[in-house]
A and B are shown apart, each in its own frame.
Chain A
Amino acid sequence: MLNEHSVIEAIKTVIDPEVGFDIYSLGLIYGVAVEDSHVSVTMTLSTRGCPLHELIQTWTREAVERLDGVESCEVTIVWEPAWNITMASEEVKKALGA
């Protein structure tokens, strides 16, 4: 069944190849909204000049669109509030030595 939880589980399959963690655990996902078969994801990136910017956006959209019942997914990148390490999971913080 399509809901916020299933969308988040799909997003967790998107891994940042530089850091080695999924983008949800990194705290990059600010919001998920499900409206019928349309999903909106609001997210940020750890740094503004990230060369993976467009790729991570595409991977997130594709991961969500692979879910049953999703017709379209819109991924919006925002810079406010700026990402910081407190947004990441305890596992990520520990692994990064933060």
Chain B
Amino acid sequence: MARNLATQMAPPFVLVAHYFIAAAIFYAVSAFLLPFYANEIDGYFLSSSMASLIHLYLLGFVMMTIFGAMYQLIPVVLEIPVFSKDFAYVQFYLFLGGIILFCFGLGVDKYMAVVPYGAMMIYLSMLIFVANIFLTYKNLERFDIVAKYIFASNVFLFIGSSVGFFMALNLLYGFYPDLMSLAKIHIATTIFGYVIMSIMGVAMVLLPMFSLSHGYSQQKIKWAFYAIITGLSVLLVAELFHVSELFYTGVALSAFAMLLAILQMFDIFRARIRRQNDFWAKNMIASFFTLLTCIVVFFVGIFSSEQKYFILFGFLFFFGFLLFFIVGHIYKILPFLVWYQRFSPLVGKMKVPMLNQMIKEKQADVQFFITFVGMALGCVGIIFTSYLTFAIASVIMGIGTLLVIDNIYFTLTFKPKKEATNAQ
């Protein structure tokens, strides 16, 4: 019965819009700040100012988008309604306030004391989200590979956010000396455990849906699931018990899982019926190509022990892989949400716009090109430690951001042309 209720079970548009609009604002702020971090490209990747920008981008843009998208996608991919929409609203406001406090405290030294308060709000918001997801799973009928990914990713989110909260308290009270181990566990569980696993799971629904792919095997993504769970678990044990050999085993297994996921996405793309390389397809190809590059760069960093490769890895991962994946899907999901809210009741009564008319397609193409050039130039800046090159690259990427924001505004306020609204 649940199978044909995907849209009835979906949350109200206004809920998802909260998350998406806040995410767009955080994206714009992060892009604006990026050029000011040019002189940190040869710095320490765990510095508090760097942590401020990374959290602003990761929590404010990436995770805000993922949370909003999850509330919309869970009824579609799991075919069950989200347990509580009220929880989602409470979570949003706690998360929003928490991010502002937390990042402000990390970024401005004299306000460092507010960091634990911001962290507490973020932690509470994440607990609400995780509880909401787990309670949703009580009604799950089909525990397929996508359901497994989303479930496991939320277990990692719980661990990662708990460690993050502990780190924030530790920052102020200093009761635990091994900050590096905590940071590694926090990064592994939140970025690879939550963000990557969520993307791997939902990509198995979104990519075939938007590219009309059929007839491919899911074997690689299934192996990837067990590889990443094992890899991250080994990594946690290695850090908790300080066994460095195990750490590299965990890293290798996690990287192997990501390689399998990339190959799976390649299989889906090979089987696609929709062959046009539109702005979505370009973003997806760039996203997974960048993820592959990230894996290579990470291992170069491990073997060379040069800090700049970890900075390069982070830059490519955040402003390449995640950015392309999220922006590509915002261009697809947002028009659908607006269309569903405003135009679906008019179907059969009036001529309604198509989804592709609700995005400035040419602008999306230009934005993709600009962002890609900016990202590539940013990599050059980091590799050759050129502050100026990196600052120019950041400005170019900022132009790309403005184009994304303009397109989001266009979709949210979309007005069909007169001829498109004439009665049929």
List residues of chain A with CB within 8 A of the CB of B4: 53-54, 57, 77
> Is B354 in contact with chain A by the CB < 8 A criterion?
yes
Looking at the complex, which one of A50, A53, A59, A96 makes contact with B348 (CB distance below 8 Å)? A59
Contact (A47, B212) CB under 8 Å given A20-B354, A57-B4, A63-B348: yes
Whether the Cβ atoms of A54 and B354 lie closer than 8 Å is: no
B212 in contact with A51 (CB, 8 Å): no
> Contacts A17-B339, A47-B208, A51-B10 given: A82-B347 contact, CB under 8 Å?
no
A66 / chain B contacts, CB cutoff of 8 Å: 348
Please name the residue on chain A nearest to B8 by beta carbon. A54
Decide if A98 touches B7 in the complex (CB within 8 Å): no
- Residue among A13, A50, A54, A63 with max Cβ neighbours from chain B (10 Å): A54
Contact in complex: A51, B276 (CB < 8 Å): no
Chain A residues with Cβ below 8 Å from B205 are 49
CA distance A55 to B212 in the complex (A): 19
B332-358 toward A: CB 8 Å interface, digit per residue (1/0)?
000010011001100110001111100
Query: Is B5 a contact partner of A96 (Cβ separation < 8 A)?
Result: no
Of the listed residues B205, B212, B274, B336, the one surrounded by the most CB atoms of chain A closer than 10 A to its CB is B212
From known contacts A49-B77, A54-B6, infer whether A96 and B355 are also in contact, taking CB-CB under 8 Å: no
- Interface assignment of A52: CB less than 8 Å from any CB of chain B: yes
* A55, B7: Cβ atoms closer than 8 Å: yes
Q: B333's closest neighbor in chain A, by CB?
A: A51
Q: How far is the CA of A51 from the CA of B72 in the complex (A)?
A: 10
How many residues on chain B are close to A (CB under 8 Å)?
Answer: 34
Instruction: Report if A85-B273 is in contact (Cβ < 8 Å); known contacts: A17-B354, A18-B355.
Output: yes
Q: Are B336 and A18 touching (Cβ within 8 A)?
A: yes
- The reply on B50 being an interface residue by CB < 8 A is no
With an 8 A cutoff between CB atoms, is B275 at the interface?
Answer: yes
Interface residue B215 (Cβ < 8 Å from any Cβ of A): yes
Contact with B along A52-93 (1 / 0, CB 8 A): 111101010011001000000000010000111100000000
Question: Chain A contacts of B3 at CB under 8 A?
Answer: 53
Chain A contact patch, size range: 20 to 34
Give the one of A62, A66, A82, A97 with max B CB within 10 A: A97
Interface-central residue, A50, A63, A66, A77, by most chain B CB under 10 Å: A50
Task: List the B residue with the shortest CB-CB distance to A92.
Answer: B273
Q: Does chain A have a CB within 8 A of B413?
A: no
Contact partner of A97 (CB less than 8 A), chosen from B274, B336, B348, B353, is B274
Complex CA distance for A53 and B340, rounded to whole angstroms: 12
Contact assessment for B355 and A50 in the assembled complex, using a CB-CB cutoff below 8 Å: no
Residues from chain B with a CB closer than 8 A to the CB of A25 are none
Q: With a CB–CB cut-off of 8 A, which chain B residues contact A40?
A: none
A56→B312 CA distance, assembly (Å) = 46
Q: Which residue of A lies closest to B72 (CB)?
A: A51
* Contact flag A47-B273 (CB < 8 Å), given A17-B352, A17-B354, A54-B7: no
A55 CA to B210 CA, complexed, in Å = 18
Contacts A17-B339, A55-B7; A98 near B273 (Cβ below 8 A): yes
Interface of chain A residues 5 through 28 with chain B (CB within 8 A):
13, 15, 17-20
Which A residue sits closest to B275, measured CB to CB?
A97
Given contacts A17-B352, A50-B209, A51-B336, contact A98 B76 (CB under 8 A): no
In this complex, which of A49, A84, A98 has the most chain B Cβ atoms within 10 angstroms of its Cβ? A49
> In this complex, what residue of A is CB-closest to B337?
A51
Write the residues of chain A forming the contact surface with B, with a CB cutoff of 8 angstroms: 13, 15, 17-20, 46-47, 49-55, 57, 59, 62-63, 66, 77, 82-85, 96-98
Can you give 29 contacting A-B residue pairs, CB < 8 Å?
A: A13-B348, A13-B424, A15-B354, A17-B354, A18-B354, A18-B355, A20-B354, A46-B212, A47-B209, A49-B205, A49-B209, A50-B6, A51-B10, A51-B76, A51-B336, A53-B4, A53-B6, A53-B7, A54-B4, A54-B7, A54-B8, A55-B7, A62-B348, A66-B348, A84-B215, A96-B212, A96-B275, A96-B276, A98-B273
15 extra A-B contacts, CB within 8 A, seeds A54-B4, A98-B274: A13-B348, A17-B339, A17-B353, A47-B208, A47-B212, A49-B205, A53-B3, A54-B5, A54-B7, A55-B7, A59-B347, A85-B212, A96-B274, A96-B275, A98-B273
